[in-house]
């Protein structure tokens, strides 16, 4: 998929390079053609990146939901929760997993909500919808809450057993993975929105010129 995406971007870029290499001013039709090419590339990249990272967030959310179910059904049988059983409660672990799953699901909704359809060039350049920003903000808060729970648990383990026996560095993914992925979703959304904003600025800067 990534290779096909790169091929499509190159195909779009070639006519742009040819027109932009001219020394003379571009006439009005050429300007709008360039803008349409930029809009096509923006739409393609927006759909690709938001779909990939949104689907990734949904899959990780499903994993944390599965982990919560496993913890509720068979407490402490999973290694990554069993190692902390003396400093956390089973209900607390289930709650933390559910919060993290909800946070990642919210991030997925934020990326996939109102995704532009093929051919909707102008929608690909619109600002991020308020509902999408709200979903991503909720995801960030949930991921931060989950990270705080697991960091507190790891700290209690170190305080109780010392840094040698109580430091479970292999479990740092519990607090950090959801938080980092939600932050990555924010970055993806911000990047595609910023590019769309620049294209809108370019549209407003077009000048009237007719080639003789």
Give the CB-side neighbour count of residue 43, counting CA atoms within 13 A: 16
- 175 contacts 146 by C-beta, under 8 angstroms: yes
**What is the rounded distance in angstroms from the CA atom of residue 24 to the CA atom of residue 46?**
32
Q: What is the DSSP letter of 88?
A: S
pLDDT computed for residue 65 by the predictor: 97
3 state SS of 1: coil
**What is the rounded distance in angstroms from the CA atom of residue 57 to the CA atom of residue 114?**
16
pLDDT computed for residue 10 by the predictor: 52
**What is the rounded distance in angstroms from the CA atom of residue 84 to the CA atom of residue 80?**
8
Task: Tell me which long-range contacts 8-13 makes (C-beta under 8 A, separation of at least 24).
Answer: 8/44, 9/41, 9/44, 9/45, 12/37, 12/40, 12/41, 12/44, 13/41
pLDDT computed for residue 212 by the predictor: 46
pLDDT tens figures, 53-105: 999 999 999 999 999 999 999 998 888 888 999 999 999 999 999 999 999 99
Nearest in space to 156 (alpha carbons), one of 171, 143, 145: 171
pLDDT tens figures, 11-64: 555 555 555 555 566 667 777 788 888 888 888 888 999 999 999 999 999 999
> Residue holding tokens 């057993």?
161
pLDDT tens figures, 108-149: 999 998 888 887 777 767 777 888 899 999 999 999 999 999
- 25 contacts 212 by C-beta, under 8 angstroms: no
């Amino acid at each position: 998929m990534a290779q096909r995406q790169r091929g499509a971007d190159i195909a779009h870029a070639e006519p742009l390079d040819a027109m932009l290499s001219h020394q003379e001013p571009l006439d009005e039709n050429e300007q709008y053609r360039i803008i349409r090419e930029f809009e096509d590339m923006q739409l393609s990249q927006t759909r690709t990146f938001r779909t990939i990272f949104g689907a990734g967030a949904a899959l990780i959310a499903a994993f944390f939901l599965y982990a919560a179910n496993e913890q509720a059904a068979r407490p402490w049988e999973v290694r990554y929760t069993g190692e902390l059983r003396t400093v956390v409660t089973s209900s607390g672990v289930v709650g933390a997993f559910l919060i993290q799953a909800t946070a990642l699901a919210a991030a997925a909704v934020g990326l996939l909500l109102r995704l532009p359809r093929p051919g909707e060039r102008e929608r690909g350049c619109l600002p991020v919808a308020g509902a999408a920003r709200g979903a991503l903000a909720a995801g960030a808060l949930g991921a931060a809450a989950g990270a705080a729970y697991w960091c507190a648990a790891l700290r209690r383990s170190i305080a109780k057993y010392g840094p040698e026996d109580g430091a479970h560095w292999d479990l740092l993914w519990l607090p950090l993975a959801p938080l980092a992925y939600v932050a990555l979703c924010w970055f993806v959304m911000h990047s595609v929105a910023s590019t769309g904003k620049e294209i809108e600025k370019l549209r407003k800067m077009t000048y009237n010129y007719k080639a003789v």
